[in-house]
């Protein structure tokens, strides 16, 4: 999984209230060019969503599980077909169990947490919640951690995504500003329109 090669440098976060709507959302995002998606385990029947999406999208799809809190979560997500895992932080269970067979984006906010995530072999540090510090905070973190790949997550719209990428984020994670209410049964045509606007905005940044 090469984060620098994600389409539009975007990881879509699907956190829904209905499993069928969540699945339709993942598939629609892929159809519209947002092919890297994280399904939060807080979504009802999230593992079923991952299984079905994997079946539809095939083995090469960049499809992961988010809100992974324990080693058991990690194992079950891997069994369901996730190709990467995303955590909001790093608990002792994940730290000490063999949960890192799949690439992981490990949540961190402080410098100490960034060090801990890096020591555990994180593919990237999920800067979360990024809204607490904004792009300026990421820029400050990159001074002591220039080699750490950061993926900011939390409250990121297209303008903020461009700002984060400009200060060195390898990608951004985006939920409701892109997904909206689609994963709860909302209109898929509206989702397609949001994706089109997102692609246009991020294409400018990626090309810059």
Give dist(CA 165, CA 60) in Å, integer: 25
**Residue 139 a catalytic site member:** no
**Number of other CB atoms surrounding residue 21 within 10 Å:** 20
Q: Which of 31, 101, 126, 205 is catalytic?
A: 126
Structure tokens at 121: 């072999």
**Residue 126 a catalytic site member:** yes
Q: Which residues of 178-204 are buried (b: 16+ CB within 10 A; e: fewer)?
A: bbbebbeeeebeebeebbeebbeebee
Q: Which of 5, 31, 32, 38 is catalytic?
A: 38
- Strands, sheet with 36-40, edge to edge from the N-terminal-most edge strand: 150-152, 124-127, 104-108, 84-87, 62-66, 36-40, 10-14, 172-174
Determine the angle formed by the axes of helices 158-166 and 134-142, rounding to 10 degrees.
20
List, by residue number, the catalytic residues: 38, 126
């Amino acid at each position: 999984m090469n984060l620098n090669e994600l389409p539009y440098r975007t990881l879509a976060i699907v956190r829904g209230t209905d499993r069928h709507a969540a699945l339709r959302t993942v598939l629609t995002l892929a159809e519209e060019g947002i092919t890297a998606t994280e399904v939060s385990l807080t979504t009802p029947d999230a593992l079923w969503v991952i299984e079905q999406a994997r079946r539809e999208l095939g083995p090469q799809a960049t499809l992961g599980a988010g809100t992974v809190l324990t080693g058991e979560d990690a194992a079950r997500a891997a069994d369901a077909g996730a190709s990467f895992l995303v955590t909001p932080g790093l608990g002792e269970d994940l730290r000490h169990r063999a949960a890192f067979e799949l690439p992981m984006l490990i949540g961190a906010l402080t410098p100490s947490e960034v060090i801990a995530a890096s020591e555990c072999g994180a593919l990237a540090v999920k800067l979360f919640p990024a809204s607490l510090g904004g792009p300026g905070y990421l820029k400050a973190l990159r001074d002591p951690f220039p080699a750490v790949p950061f993926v900011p997550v939390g409250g990121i719209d297209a303008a903020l995504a461009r700002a984060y990428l400009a200060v060195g984020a390898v990608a951004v994670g985006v939920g409701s500003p892109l997904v909206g209410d689609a994963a709860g049964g909302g209109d898929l045509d509206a989702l397609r329109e949001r994706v089109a606007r997102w692609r246009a905005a991020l294409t400018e940044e990626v090309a810059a």
